């Protein structure tokens, strides 16, 4: 499968934070969810992918091209929705059409109008008078109206109510159905990623802790609550991390079926993305 995005060993160093050796790729037609605590390096990674920030080392290839040679073409084929990166509050919704058609060569006015209609966005309102949800929808309408093949979302759905979030998730799934488009989505709302992500990338303290397909997670990962004896009987290869509790252990299994086969009376729960994140942050990682 062709990769739409390839991030190769990028690092960025600051005085009090560093992003180190980030490597991953997103195939066409896939949704890649990016998780991590606040300050883990998600936005820095996205800024490097968007060439809004120069990485100190490593490189980014999007659509098989690099920014040094094809920055304009790459950016014109990416739709970006970032939390806090709203349109200027004094502008009207109707102004967006006039501005964006001058900024994007592939701007599709009819497509933009149809999104405005679908999202019920009023043309005669200023951006500052829109609700948070409407403002996010406006950003989505813009990101989806210039022929973007890769959609990058940075906490774009935070602050939205569940109904609106669900609407956005549906939109993302629609976006990738033709298997030519992809989405890279960073979100704190791990339940959203449980629903739509094909891959999960977990960044912790500036480094990748975990990059797996959802299929792999669903099939192999599990959470086991067990006593000390059982924990000690487990092979270290069976789990990624564990959290010692007062009288028991919580274990993140990486081969649930094998453990269940080996220990007949053991039944592990399926691991959610939130479980994995908590194990990697709070637990003892093997």
Closest distance to other proteins from the beta carbon of 47 (Å): 8
Closest by alpha carbon to 45, among 80, 63, 19?
19
Considering the complex, state which of residue 51 and residue 66 has its C-beta at the smaller distance from other proteins. Answer: 51
Considering the complex, state which of residue 19 and residue 82 has its C-beta at the smaller distance from other proteins. Answer: 82
Closest distance to other proteins from the beta carbon of 145 (Å): 14
CA distance 204 to 172: 25
Considering the complex, state which of residue 105 and residue 235 has its C-beta at the smaller distance from other proteins. Answer: 105
Closest distance to other proteins from the beta carbon of 72 (Å): 5
Closest distance to other proteins from the beta carbon of 85 (Å): 5
Neighbours of 9 (CB within 10 A): 12
Residues interacting with other proteins, by CB under 8 A?
Answer: 50-54, 71-76, 80, 82, 84-92, 95, 98-99, 102-105, 126
CA distance 280 to 250: 12
For 93-127, the DSSP string reads HHHHHHHHHHH-TT--HHHHHHHHHHTT--TTSBG
**Residues found in the chain:** 286
Considering the complex, state which of residue 84 and residue 236 has its C-beta at the smaller distance from other proteins. Answer: 84
Q: Rg of the Cα trace of the chain?
A: 21
Closest distance to other proteins from the beta carbon of 32 (Å): 19
Considering the complex, state which of residue 78 and residue 208 has its C-beta at the smaller distance from other proteins. Answer: 78
Considering the complex, state which of residue 64 and residue 162 has its C-beta at the smaller distance from other proteins. Answer: 64
Closest distance to other proteins from the beta carbon of 6 (Å): 20
Closest by alpha carbon to 231, among 198, 268, 196, 201?
268
Considering the complex, state which of residue 91 and residue 281 has its C-beta at the smaller distance from other proteins. Answer: 91
Closest by alpha carbon to 33, among 203, 218, 171?
203
Closest distance to other proteins from the beta carbon of 196 (Å): 23
For 199-253, the DSSP string reads EEEEEETTEEEEEEEHHHHHHH-EEEEE-HHHHHHS-GGGEEEEEE-SSSEEEEE
Q: Which two tokens stand for residue 120?
A: 């019920």
């Amino acid at each position: 499968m062709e990769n739409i995005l390839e991030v190769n060993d990028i690092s960025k160093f600051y005085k009090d934070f560093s992003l180190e050796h980030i490597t991953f790729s997103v195939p066409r037609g896939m949704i890649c969810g990016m998780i991590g605590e606040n300050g883990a390096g998600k936005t820095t990674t996205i800024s490097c992918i968007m060439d809004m920030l120069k990485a100190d080392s490593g490189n980014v290839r999007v659509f098989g091209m690099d920014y040094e040679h094809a920055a304009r073409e790459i950016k014109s084929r990416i739709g970006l929705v970032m939390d806090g990166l709203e349109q200027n509050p004094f502008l009207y919704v109707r102004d967006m059409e006039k501005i964006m058609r001058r900024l994007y060569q592939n701007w599709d006015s009819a497509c933009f109008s149809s999104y405005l209609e679908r999202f019920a966005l009023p043309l005669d309102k200023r951006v500052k008078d829109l609700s948070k949800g409407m403002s996010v929808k406006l950003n989505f309408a813009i990101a989806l109206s210039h022929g973007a093949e890769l959609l990058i979302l940075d906490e774009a759905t935070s602050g939205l109510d569940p109904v609106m979030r669900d609407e956005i998730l549906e939109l993302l799934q629609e976006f990738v159905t033709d298997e030519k488009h992809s989405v890279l989505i960073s979100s704190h709302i791990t339940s959203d990623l449980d629903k739509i992500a094909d891959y999960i990338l977990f960044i912790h303290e500036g480094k990748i802790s975990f990059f797996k397909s959802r299929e792999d997670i669903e099939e192999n990962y599990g959470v086991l609550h067990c006593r000390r004896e059982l924990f000690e009987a487990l092979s270290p290869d069976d789990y990624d991390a564990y959290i010692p509790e007062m009288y028991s252990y919580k274990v993140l299994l990486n081969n649930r079926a094998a453990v269940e086969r080996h220990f007949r009376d053991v039944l592990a729960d399926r691991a959610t993305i939130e479980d994995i994140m908590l194990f990697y942050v709070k637990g003892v990682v093997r």
